[in-house]
């Protein structure tokens, strides 16, 4: 990757394997330079260093904000730890101290960069009935930033994955901003899956394979859309033993297994995508599975599911790679946001210069 003189410098906090950085470095005009990164997971650091040539610094809580290099953009997907309101003390620091969001705040307060981009789970919007989000908004605005946030779905940015995430941008100047909504929906797993991959390590267990077969066998001889499975193997006092297990092929070509009576609210027990469907959100504890190929997605396919560039490589185990991908941001989504941030920031600069010229 070429290193040219950059117009914008950024720091990469809670960096993981480098989803934010990959998005920055994907931007073709190459006006962005990473001057600091931070991550504590040793396997994520290993992958990050392998791909970007520098190892992230350790625990951000151990760094003094004043010791960080100067930068223009702060980026980070901060962990959503519970916010503590003990004592209901006055001042925004008392409401966020003890969370990793506090470290973002103290860095913004000290370094005062031009912009920032934050990411978190969709649930942040409703956490504690919106009280957590209100604290975040108030805190960032008290630091002098104009902020905007939205929930974006990765599916709308060219990857076959339903993944809704909260994004927040902030500008030191009063800049108008509109989030990109993405116009690339319509991809399916067939677009990224290697149908010729017969890696035995990816195959589903015999138990999973057998009950998938059972579902489709019963569909041929029954008018029922929901297929009841044998639950006698489960202890009677368990949910599966008490309510039974059912499977249902949805119109979107995903196969769902549920615990519960057909007429009642179902508790999802397993989820299988297909080549002609879209994957659910990949998370650290769940990797997508295909009922029609009877296998899990490979690391390379999960990488494509998250929109990482072809040059990105893993030098850790497959299990670690999938875990880290589940924790990562979807690269095309972040890239689209950054490009819009820079566009609006530079538009504001040009407008300010024009105003100054008119006053001369």
As annotated, the active-site residues are: 80
Q: Cβ(56)–Cβ(13) under 8 Å?
A: no
Q: Does an H or E element contain 13, and which?
A: strand 8-13
CA distance 301 to 279: 11
Decide: helix, strand or coil at residue 268: strand
Give the count of beta carbons closer than 10 Å to the beta carbon of residue 351: 11
Q: Cβ(260)–Cβ(266) under 8 Å?
A: yes
Q: Does an H or E element contain 18, and which?
A: none
CA distance 144 to 103: 17
Cβ within 8 Å of residue 264, ≥6 positions away: 243
Cβ within 8 Å of residue 206, ≥6 positions away: none
CA distance 61 to 99: 10
- How distant is the alpha carbon of residue 281 from its chain centre? 8
**CA dist 199 to 92, 189, 313, Å?**
53, 18, 19
């Amino acid at each position: 990757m070429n290193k040219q003189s950059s117009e914008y410098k950024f720091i990469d906090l809670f960096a993981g394997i480098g989803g934010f950085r990959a998005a920055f470095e994907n931007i073709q005009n190459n006006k962005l330079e990473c001057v600091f990164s931070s991550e504590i997971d040793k396997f994520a650091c290993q992958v990050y260093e392998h791909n970007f040539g520098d190892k992230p610094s350790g625990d951000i809580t151990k760094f003094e904000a004043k010791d960080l290099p100067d930068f223009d953009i702060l980026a980070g997907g901060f962990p959503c730890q519970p916010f503590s309101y003990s004592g209901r003390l006055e001042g925004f620091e008392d409401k966020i101290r003890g969370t990793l969001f506090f470290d973002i705040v103290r860095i913004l307060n000290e370094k005062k960069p031009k912009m920032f981009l934050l990411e978190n789970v969709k649930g942040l919007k409703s956490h504690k009935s919106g009280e957590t989000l209100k604290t975040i908004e108030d805190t960032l605005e008290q630091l002098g930033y104009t902020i905007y946030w939205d929930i974006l779905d990765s599916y709308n940015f060219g990857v076959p994955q339903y993944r809704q995430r909260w994004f927040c941008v902030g500008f030191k100047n009063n800049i108008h901003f509109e989030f990109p909504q993405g116009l690339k929906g319509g991809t399916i797993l067939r677009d990224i899956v290697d149908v010729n991959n017969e890696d035995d390590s990816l195959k589903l267990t015999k138990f999973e394979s057998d009950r998938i077969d059972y579902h489709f066998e019963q569909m041929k001889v029954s008018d029922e859309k929901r297929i009841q499975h044998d639950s006698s193997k489960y202890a009677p006092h368990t949910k599966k033993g008490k309510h039974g297990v059912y499977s249902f092929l949805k119109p979107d070509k995903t196969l769902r297994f549920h615990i519960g009576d057909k007429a009642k609210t179902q508790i999802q027990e397993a989820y299988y995508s297909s080549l002609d469907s879209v994957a659910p959100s990949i998370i650290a504890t769940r990797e997508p599975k295909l009922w029609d190929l009877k296998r899990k997605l490979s690391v390379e396919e999960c990488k494509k599911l998250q929109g990482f560039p072809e040059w990105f490589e893993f030098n850790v185990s497959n299990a670690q790679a999938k875990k880290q991908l589940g924790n990562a941001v979807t690269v095309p989504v972040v890239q689209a946001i950054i490009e819009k941030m820079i566009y609006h920031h530079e538009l504001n600069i040009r407008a300010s210069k024009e105003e100054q010229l008119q006053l001369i």
